[in-house]
Structure 1
C-alpha cells in the first residue's frame, strides 16, 4: 500500500469479522512497527499479546466502568478527564448520566473486547522516558512521544496487511488491576490497549479539519498557513 494512502485511510476500526489474525501476520506487523522513532533509541515499550480467554474476559470487565464514565461525561458536554475540567462538573455529570450510559455501554467494543481477534497491551518503561516536561506545573505530555509512535506504527503496519484496529487508553483508568493481571511491575505503566482484526468495513476516506484551521505563521495568532490542494 502506498504510504500516503495508508496515512490518509488508517482510521479507528472497532468492528471485526470472526476471521483470526494469524500469529505470522501479527509478527510481521510488530517486526515493522519496531522501527518506530524512539527517544535515544531506548525503545521503551513492552508488549503483551493477550490470548488467554479468562484474562481477556477480565480485561473486558475492567474496560466497562471507565467506558460508562466516558459516555456519561461526553453526554454532559465535557471532554472526559480533560486536565482543565472542573472536578465538580465531572462528579455532577457522572451522578446524573451514569444510568443511561450503562445501557449505551452494552454494545460495541466495550461489550466484545474479549472477542477481538488480536488483543495487545502496550506498556511504557518509565525509567527510559525523557519526560522533559515532568517538572512543569501542568499535565505532562512529553514522555509519551517515545512510546505512542510505536503504537501508531502498529496500526499503520496492520493497515498494510489488510488488518484494522483501534488504540484505546480506557483501561489506564484500571491500571493497577491490569498490571497485576498481566504481570507488569514497576517502572512499567500501561500506555494503551490495541485491538486488531479483519474489519467488517474498511475505512476508505477520513474526514479531518483543513490544515489552515490549526496551522498559523510565526505566532498562534498569526495568519493561517494556507495549504494548497488540501481536502
Structure 2
C-alpha cells in the first residue's frame, strides 16, 4: 500500500470476522511498528499479547467500567473526561451509569465483546525511559505519550498493510492498577492503550476529517487560517 493512501484511509475498525490472526502476522506487525520515533530513541514501549481466555474476560470487565462512564457523559453532551469541562454536569452524568450500562448490555457491541477480538494487545509505557518534560508542571500533562503513541499508530498502519483492521482504545487506563495486577506488570510499567486487531468485516476508505483551515493558523492562535496556496494563473 502506498504511504499516503495508508495515512488517509486507516480508520478505526471494531468489527472483525471470526478468522484468527496468526502469531506470525502479529509478530510482523510489531516488527514494523518498532521503528516508530521515541524520545532519545529509548523505545519505552512494552506489549503484552493477551491470549488466555480467562485473562481476556477479566480485561474486558475492567474495560467496561470506563466504557459505560464514557457513554453516560456522551449522552449528556460532554466530551468525556475533558481537562476543561463542566464538572457538575459530569457528576450528574456519571450518576446515570447503571442505567446506561443496562441499555448497552442489552445490545452488546465492541466493548462487551472485547474478549473475543482475534488479537488483543496491551501497550505499556516504561516510566523510567520517558523524557516527560512536563512531569512537574501544573495542569494537564501529555508529553510522555509522545514517545509511546507513535508506536501504536505505526502498529495500526502496519496492521493495515497486512490486510488487518484495528483500533486503539485507552479506556482500560481507568482501571490501570487492576490491569497491571492482572498482567503481572512491575510498578514502572504503566498502561497506555489496548489495541484490538482482526480481519475487518469492512475496511473504511473514506474518512471524515476537518480541513486544514479549521485547525491551523499563522503566527498566533488567533491568527488567520492557513490557506492552501493559490493556483497559478
Structures share fold, TM-score greater than 0.5: yes
> Equivalences for 1:68-217 in 2 at 5 Å?
68-96=68-96, 98-105=98-105, 106-217=107-218
CA drift at 1:91: 1.3
**SS, match of residue 222 in structure 2:** coil
Task: Verify the 8 A CA contact 1:122 1:194 in the aligned structure 2.
Answer: yes
CA distance in 1 between partners of 2:58 and 2:124 (Å) = 18
Task: Verify the 8 A CA contact 1:169 1:193 in the aligned structure 2.
Answer: yes
Task: Verify the 8 A CA contact 2:68 2:97 in the aligned structure 1.
Answer: no
Runs of 4+ in 1 over 3 A off after TM superposition: none
CA drift at 1:63: 1.2
Paired residues, what number? 229
CA drift at 1:217: 0.7
So what's the TM-score if we normalise by structure 2? 0.95
Moved more, 39-48 or 85-94: 85-94
Q: Residue 52 of structure 1 corresponds to which residue in structure 2?
A: 52
**SS, match of residue 51 in structure 1:** coil
CA drift at 1:97: 5.2
Q: Which runs of 5+ in 1 are unaligned?
A: none
Offset from partner CA, 1:149-197 (integer Å, 9 cap, x none): 0000000000001100000000000111110110111111100000000
CA distance in 2 between partners of 1:135 and 1:173 (Å) = 22
Offset from partner CA, 1:94-131 (integer Å, 9 cap, x none): 11354034312542111110110000000001111111
Q: Cα RMSD (Å) of the superposition?
A: 1.3
Q: Residue 21 of structure 2 corresponds to which residue in structure 1?
A: 21
**SS, match of residue 96 in structure 2:** helix
CA drift at 1:65: 1.3
**SS, match of residue 66 in structure 1:** helix
CA drift at 1:16: 0.3
CA distance in 1 between partners of 2:102 and 2:118 (Å) = 25
